[in-house]
Amino acid sequence: MAEYWMDWASLLLRWLHVITAIAWIGSSFYFVWLDLSLRKAAHLPEGVHGESWSVHGGGFYHVQKYLVAPGSMPKELHWFKYESYFTWISGFSLLAVTYYWGAKAFLIDSSVADITVMQAVGLSLASLALGWIVYDLICKTPIGKNLLILGFIVYVVVVLAAYSYSEIFSSRAALLHVGAMVATWMTGNVFFIIIPNQKKVVASLQRGEAPDPALGQQAKQRSTHNNYLTLPVLFMMLSNHYPMTFVGDDLWILVGLIVLIGAIIRDYFNAGHAGATGLRVRWQWPIASILIIVLAIWAKPETVTLNTNQIVTDDAIQTIVTTHCAGCHAAQPTMAGFTTPPKGVILETLVDVQKYKAQVHAQSVASQAMPLGNMTQMKPEERAMLGYWLENN
Ligand code: HEC
Would you say the CB of residue 19 lies under 6 angstroms from ligand 1?
A: no
**Residue 283 confidence (pLDDT):** 97
Statement: residue 389 has pLDDT above 90: yes
**327 pocket-lining for ligand 1 (C-beta < 6 Å):** yes
> For 317-340, b where at least 16 C-beta lie within 10 A, e where not — what string?
beebbeebbbbbbbeebebeebee
Cα distances (angstroms) measured from residue 297 to each of 244, 246, 317, 387, 391: 11, 14, 29, 19, 20
Nearest CA owner, ligand 1 atom 7 = 371
Per-residue CA distances from 378 to 45, 111, 184, 250, 321 (Å): 70, 10, 34, 20, 10
The residue whose C-alpha atom lies closest to atom 14 belonging to ligand 1 is: 342
Q: How far apart are CA 23 and CA 82, in angstroms?
A: 9
Task: Give me the mean pLDDT over the 153-175 stretch.
Answer: 95
Alpha-carbon span 109 to 172, nearest angstrom: 10
Tell me the best of 4, 357, 363 to mutate to test the pocket of ligand 1, counting ligand atoms within 8 Å of each CB and taking the most. Answer: 363
Q: Which of 28-37, 238-247, 259-268, 347-356 has the lowest mean pLDDT?
A: 238-247
Yes or no: say if 128 and 161 are a contact pair by the CB < 8 Å rule.
no
In tens, the pLDDT along 27-84 reads 999 999 999 999 998 888 888 989 999 999 999 999 999 877 787 888 898 999 999 9
What spacing in Å lies between the alpha carbon of 233 and ligand 1's midpoint? Answer: 25
The sign of the CA dihedral 37, 40, 44, 45 is: positive
pLDDT at 351 over 90: yes
Q: How far is the CA of 131 from the centre of ligand 1 (A)?
A: 31
| 33, 176, 250, 300 from 294: Cα distances, Å | 30, 22, 14, 10
Residue 356 CA: nearest ligand 1 atom is 29
Output the pLDDT for position 241.
Answer: 86
| pLDDT exceeds 80 at position 1 | no
Question: If you measure from the C-alpha of residue 106 to the centroid of ligand 1, how many angstroms do you get, rounded to a whole number?
Answer: 11
Separation of alpha carbons 144 and 138, rounded Å? 7
Residues 374 and 323: beta-carbon distance below 8 Å:
no
Which residue has the CA at smallest separation from atom 19 of ligand 1? 342
| CB contact at 8 A, 368 and 248 | yes
pLDDT band of 311, cuts 50, 70, 90: confident
Q: Of 244 and 130, which is predicted with more confidence?
A: 130
Instruction: Using alpha carbons, list the distances in angstroms from residue 49 to 208, 215, 272.
Output: 20, 17, 19
Taking the CA of residue 338 as reference, the ligand 1 atom at the shortest distance is: 2
Q: What percent of the chain has pLDDT over 90?
A: 65
65-102: b (≥16 Cβ within 10 Å) or e? beebbbeeeeeeeeebeebbebbbbbbbbbbbbbbbbb
- pLDDT score for 249: 67
Pocket test for ligand 1, best of 328, 360, 365 (most atoms within 8 A of CB): 328
Rounded average pLDDT over 279-303: 91
pLDDT tens for each residue of 175-232: 999 999 999 999 999 999 999 999 998 898 888 888 888 888 898 899 999 999 999 9
User: Per mean pLDDT, which range of 111-125, 242-256, 258-272 is the poorest?
Assistant: 242-256
Residue 373 has pLDDT above 90, yes or no: no
For residue 151, the model assigns a pLDDT of: 94
Residue with the smallest CA separation from ligand 1 atom 27 is: 359
Ligand 1 atom 12: residue of nearest CA: 342
Average pLDDT of the residues of the chain: 91
Specify the range with the lowest mean pLDDT, choosing from 175-189, 280-294, 302-316. Answer: 302-316
342 lines ligand 1 (CB under 6 A): yes
- Among 329, 347, 357, say which to mutate for ligand 1: greatest number of ligand atoms within 8 Å of CB: 329
Task: Give the residue among 219, 203, 79, 78 at the shortest CA–CA distance from 144.
Answer: 219
Using a 6 Å cutoff on CB, does residue 350 contact ligand 1? no
Nearest ligand 1 atom, CA 375 = 1
Residue 208 is predicted with a pLDDT of: 84
97, 288, 311 from 162: Cα distances, Å: 22, 21, 39
